[in-house]
Structure 1
Amino acid sequence: MNATLDLLRTRRSVPPPLLDEPGPSAAELETILAAASRVPDHGKLAPWRFLVIAGDARARIGEILAATWAADNPEAGPERLEQERRRLSHAPVAVAVVSRAGPHAKIPEWEQVLSAGAATMNLVVAANALGFSTAWLTEWYTYDRRVLDALGLAPEERMAGFVHIGRAREIPSDRPRPALSDIVTYL
């Protein structure tokens, strides 16, 4: 089997609390993002963009998450607020993939959304190919407009997810995968 197929067949997510330093270097991150941008893109719209969250930005955005959570959950104790504060601080790097899909005369919005999903998956695969582990997550803050506004998303932009990147402290056991006979129909 070739290395690409082996990676695709064995890749699995690692929860961010199990992701440690070192994260990707600047050159490795550029390689990952370049690969992420090489996806089907009908009309060459680039209906996605990337927000790299590393270093102090992780704590700064964590404060936004904690404040937003506290505003909606005034009963939240210090432990819960600390959990929200640390959401993006476990892994050395998180990359937020922003979907810029919108109305277009020739390109259906659905195709643009799919392109953002493909960019996110390419990001995951590229990071794994360089020896990193990843987790693609969509938590509550992925859909909270106040958080999206604080991250600089335009009103029509949405978040495809956050890809956490680091070195796995441990690899969790694999989850059951669907049998091909249950998900494949030959016509």
Structure 2
Amino acid sequence: MPEKNPAALDFLAARLSQPAKLFTLPVPDRAALEPILIAALRVPDHGKLEPWRLIVLGAEDFPRLADLAEARAKELGADAEQTEKGRGQFDRGLLAVAVISSPKPSGKIPLAEQVLSAGALCLNLVTVATAAGWGANWLSGWPAHDPVFRARAFGCTEAETVAGIVHIGTPRSPAPDRPRPVLEHVVQWGLR
């Protein structure tokens, strides 16, 4: 019989993301963030390719990112709402970790597995930061999916994408839970 970890199961069953726009200070300093990053990096990584890289964004980085998002919105002819959405998460940012999906050439490990490893890293980062007592939220937004913005902002190559931007901070108040999937609606037991 497997040995259960009830505390971990209870934590995961109740885990939820906090709204990043409601985060306040303090945020984790480098000494507090490094163990979070070390634990978060324990993700499936077939072939040990490390098909991702992380960029820690501090308060000093967000004005530049907000300006880059606004400039890119203007280049694309975006309306005021799109422009505000583009710069919004950066205008309010306190600390975040950009997870860059950075696939490596491999004859054995498919691109999809490498990209999913970066997604797993985003979720691990949210989960570990939450377990460490912080609020965490995985966001992206349209700028992160724009190749020109991500090249300017994060130095992404054509092969790289932004898997997510994980904001970490102190939540102002507990977040309400949201409706969760109904098991019977999303799970099929066996092949039909």
Alignment TM-score, normalising by the size of structure 1: 0.90
Question: 1:108-147 residue pairs with structure 2 within 5 A?
Answer: 108-147=110-149
Residue segments in structure 1 that go unaligned for 5+ positions in a row: none
Letter matched to residue 147 of structure 1: F
How far apart are residue 164 of structure 1 and its match? 0.8
SS in 2 for 1:43: helix
Letter matched to residue 177 of structure 1: R
The structure-2 alpha-carbon separation of the partners of 1:166 and 1:105, relative to structure 1 and needing over 3 Å to count, comes to same
Note if 1:175 corresponds to 2:178: yes
Equivalent residue for 2:166, pick from 138, 163, 168 = 163
- Is the Cα contact below 8 Å between 1:20 and 1:90 reproduced in 2? no
Note if 1:7 corresponds to 2:11: yes
Question: 1:26-65 residue pairs with structure 2 within 5 A?
Answer: 26-65=30-69
Give the Cα–Cα distance (whole angstroms) in 2 for the partners of residues 139 and 83 of structure 1. Answer: 8
- Is the Cα contact below 8 Å between 1:132 and 1:166 reproduced in 2? yes
The structure-2 alpha-carbon separation of the partners of 1:153 and 1:132, relative to structure 1 and needing over 3 Å to count, comes to same
How far apart are residue 80 of structure 1 and its match? 7.2
Letter matched to residue 95 of structure 1: V
How far apart are residue 82 of structure 1 and its match? 5.9
- Among all aligned residue pairs of Structure 1 and Structure 2, give the percentage whose two residues are the same amino acid: 42
Matched with 1:16 is 20
SS in 2 for 1:52: strand
Count of equivalent residues: 185
How far apart are residue 84 of structure 1 and its match? 4.0
Letter matched to residue 97 of structure 1: V
Residue segments in structure 2 that go unaligned for 5+ positions in a row: none
Give the Cα–Cα distance (whole angstroms) in 2 for the partners of residues 74 and 136 of structure 1. Answer: 24
Note if 1:96 corresponds to 2:104: no
Letter matched to residue 143 of structure 1: H
How far apart are residue 72 of structure 1 and its match? 2.0
Alignment TM-score, normalising by the size of structure 2: 0.87
Matched with 1:153 is 156
